[in-house]
Amino acid sequence: MATRPYDVLVIGSGAAGLTAALALAQEHRVLVLAKGALNSGSTAWAQGGIAAVLDAGDTFENHIRDTMIAGAGLNRQETVEFVIERAPQAIERLRELGVPFNTEGPNLHLTREGGHSHRRIVHVDDATGWAVQAALLKAAEEHPNITLLPNHTCIDFITGRHEVRYSGSGRVWGVYALDTLTGRVEAHVAHVTVLASGGAGRCYLFSTAPRGATGDGIAMAWRAGARVGNMEMMQFHPTCLYNLEVKNFLITEAVRGEGGRLINPRTGKRFMEFYDPERLELAPRDIVARAIDSEIKRFGLDYVHLDISHKPADFVTGHFPTIHEKLLSLGIDMTTGPIPVVPAQHYTCGGVMIDLDGRTDLPGLYAAGECTESGLHGANRLASNSLLECFVFGDAAARHILANWDSFEAPPPICPWDESRVTDSDEEVVIKQNWTEIRRFMWNYVGIVRTTKRLERAQHRIKLLNGEVNEYYAHFRVSTDLIELRNLLQSADLIVRSALKRHESRGLHYILDYPDTNQSPTDTVLVP
């Protein structure tokens, strides 16, 4: 069954999706679909903050330079300038929506993170994302032109192949989505679709990303014919809490920004001076994550220590109330002792290729946020640049759609979802087994330090699993777990293929067979 057409369909209710929805709703009726709860994406989990040049002593040029240094020169300068110059406006819009950023006298309080040459991170304590998500959701819920539909798992884009009068074109008319409460699959059609479905972090066994970060949108866009870029650039955050019960709790980079030190628990010594003597703990993330990985492997450790207990207790609790409370509940007091930390997957730098207007290769499909490759992050994202990217590109996509509205035709009649050849699954265990297998080999073979041999092993596993998953998908009724498994595998394939194509070490892609960095930076672009 096809639902009533909306003007615009937005996939995802995080920072990118809701920014686009709020701008579009000024003139059009917008439907927002989300998998699970409306606040279950990465946005609500963001801790450190949002990077923006707001201090008189700082400049756009500084922020641009820091972004390009972190990105190891792979960034598109045009995109970097576009985003960074729009940061102050984005912060202003969030303040208008009521985000209670921390202040210092009449100004916003700015904290510091790795790779930034100046203090420029605006934040709400150490739980910035929670406040941003709440403000955006409140505005969207109150907007008469926005309909929010949680618990809808998008499966695939509707294109010319699904028109009742088959055209076979790549024009996107919306999505087929599973209503997880009724178990029915419906066609949601619209004049234009904006993809804002977040990253693919859950391809890895250890990740700070939420459960739903399974690369659904990237895989859907690839299957529909869109190019994806730089998928090998998977960011590992240096400091995820090491705890046997709590597996993916982030310890914000701002802890290091405010003076936290990394210490080898065996030697009791700071070790960053051996890896980056100038920037120490505030070197870009790829360098700090590799340094920790190296210490862990060299000394046979389970974790390293992050210590900020040399600062006054009220300074620590004042800056990091959420983390302090969470750690206390686990028996760790960060005001008196160190925190055990390990690196974990954190951010998907690559994704669906877009231009400065958020346009993908597919007519009728725009994209914004972590699911995209906009050119901002290059080979390694600078801390706190990703929420910023969501606000800037969510807005840019909306503006382009508004300005070109007359060029978008109404959707034609669409075929309903075909369930005539599937039955209920009788072996859910296959899904669970394959999920775990993918995440484990991606962690072991496609992690922080790579080799061609390990990548080829991963590729071999992916080929075998592909046959199994496709057969399962063809025979059984879809569930969210199955949809995600298919996308996780597709995303893993894109990551490994991209990693095998890059014959150099650059930023996050560190491969022992090619330790040098080529002179001219080139994107890894996969074409369907």
Q: Is 120 a catalytic residue?
A: no
Site for ligand FAD, residues 136 to 165, rule: CB under 6 A: 152-154
Please identify, using beta-carbon distances, which residue of 72 and 154 lies nearer to ligand FAD: 154
Task: Please count the other Cβ atoms lying within 10 Å of the Cβ belonging to residue 142.
Answer: 8
Rounded to 5, what percent of the chain is helix, strand, coil? 40, 20, 45
In one-letter notation, the amino acid at residue 96 is E
Q: Mark residues 223-252: x for contact with ligand SIN by CB under 6 A, - for none.
A: -----------------------------x
Binding partner of residue 450 among ligand FAD, ligand SIN, none, CB cut-off 5 to 8 Å per kind? none
Using rule CB under 6 A, residue 386 touches ligand SIN: yes
Size of the site for ligand FAD (CB under 6 A): 43
Sheet containing 50-51, strands listed edge to edge, beginning at the edge strand earlier in sequence: 50-51, 121-122, 110-111
As measured in angstroms, the least distance from the Cβ of 44 to ligand SIN is: 13
Residue among 387 and 462 whose Cβ is closer to ligand SIN: 387
The helix/strand/coil state of 399 is helix
Per CB under 6 A, the segment of 16-24, 95-103, 382-390, 447-455 that binds ligand SIN is 382-390
- Contact between 128 and ligand FAD by CB under 6 A: the answer reads yes
Nearest to ligand FAD of 434, 487 (CB atom): 487
Annotated catalytic residue within 120, 171, 256, 285: 285
H/E element holding 121?
A: strand 121-122
**Contacts (Cβ under 8 Å, ≥6 apart) of 90:** 50, 52, 388, 391, 392, 395
Lay out the site mask for ligand SIN across 247-286 (x = CB under 6 A, - = otherwise). -----xxx--------------------------------
Q: How far is the CB of 241 from ligand SIN (least distance, A)?
A: 12
Which DSSP helix (H) or strand (E) runs through 517? Answer: none
- E strands within 281-338? 304-307
Query: Which range binds ligand FAD by CB under 6 A, 86-94, 185-193, 379-387, 442-450?
Result: 379-387
Q: Which of 5, 17, 114, 358 binds ligand FAD (CB under 6 A)?
A: 17
Enter the tokens of residue 108.
Answer: 């916003």
Angle at the Cα of 80 (from 74 to 82), degrees rounded to 5? 150
Minimum separation from the CB atom of position 32 to ligand SIN (A): 24
Q: Where are the alpha helices (DSSP H) in 74-153?
A: 77-85, 87-96, 128-142
Give the contacts of 348 (CB within 8 A, at least 6 positions apart): 199, 200, 201, 213, 215, 218, 231, 234, 235, 370, 371
Q: Give me the active site residues, please.
A: 285
- List residues binding ligand FAD (CB under 6 A): 11-17, 33-36, 40-43, 45-50, 128-129, 152-154, 196-198, 208-209, 212, 216-217, 250, 347, 369-370, 384-387, 390
- List residues binding ligand SIN (CB under 6 A): 47-48, 252-254, 383-384, 386
